[in-house]
Amino acid sequence: MVHVEHYRFPEEIIRMAVLMYIYAGDSFESAARSIEVVSSVFPFLGISWPTGETVREWVLKCGLDSIKRGEFKEKGIGDAYAVITDESITISGHKILVTLKVPARQRDGALRFSDVEVADIDVASLHKSGDVKEAVERVTEREGSKPAYAVSDNGTNLVKGLGEAEILHHRDVGHNLRIERTKIQDKKESSITP
């Protein structure tokens, strides 16, 4: 681990705590507790963990907390948003393509209902990748900037459309976990012989 002059903790611990706060949405205390968990799971690393107040000091020294509090909104930094795009099941031969707008950075933990705004809705019998791209472009035009990233399931039209719109795409982890769980379950069931 890399020693940082005038700091008790190595660079990797400082970086991990700050990233947990900024990207994972952990509170200062949760970031500290998460490092404690890593320490208990991997005791051979010999990691000591910081307090929540220590994590707070690191974040403040990095200037990152100013972004989360929106102090740089006039520069457009605090206004970053993301989109969640999904296509509904077919109802009477039509599908709904919904694009939701959410803050790109979560202020305090998990996404809340109040964070979500319907940005675009399109109804059609079929949504191709071009339709997904157009939906993102409509949102971009209304917002005055592109989303920082998009979240969707693994739908080919969604993945391709977001790529065509040149939006960084994250696959919905819940959807991916369900797919993997189903594969494992199917494998277990097929290995059982009557």
pLDDT tens readout for residues 94-133? 888 889 999 887 666 677 777 888 888 888 888 899 999 9
Q: In terms of residue numbers, what domain contains 52?
A: 11-68
Ramachandran area for residue 94 (φ above 0: left; ψ -120 to 50: alpha; else beta): beta
Report which secondary-structure segment, H or E, holds 82: strand 81-87
Domain count, the chain: 2
Other CB atoms within a 10 A radius of the CB of residue 16 amount to 20
Question: What are 20's two structure tokens?
Answer: 């947990």
* 155 falls within a domain: yes
Give the pLDDT score at 143.
86
Question: What are 182's two structure tokens?
Answer: 């189903």
* 57 falls within a domain: yes
- Strand pairing class (150-152; 169-171): parallel
Nearest to 83 by CA among 137, 131, 156: 137
Do residues 89 and 168 share a domain? yes
Give the pLDDT score at 175.
66
Do residues 61 and 145 share a domain? no
Which CATH number do you get for residue 108?
A: 3.30.420
Do residues 129 and 95 share a domain? yes
Nearest to 19 by CA among 9, 34, 2: 34
86-102 residues labelled b (16+ CB within 10 A) or e (exposed)? bbeeeeeeebebbbbbb
Residue at token pair 């059609």? 124
* 6 falls within a domain: no
Provide the whole-model pTM. Answer: 0.54
Instruction: Report the largest interatomic distance among the alpha carbons of the chain, rounded to a whole angstrom.
Output: 68
Task: Write out pLDDT tens, residues 130-143.
Answer: 999 999 999 999 88
Mean pLDDT, residues 38-55 taken together: 84
Give the pLDDT score at 138.
93
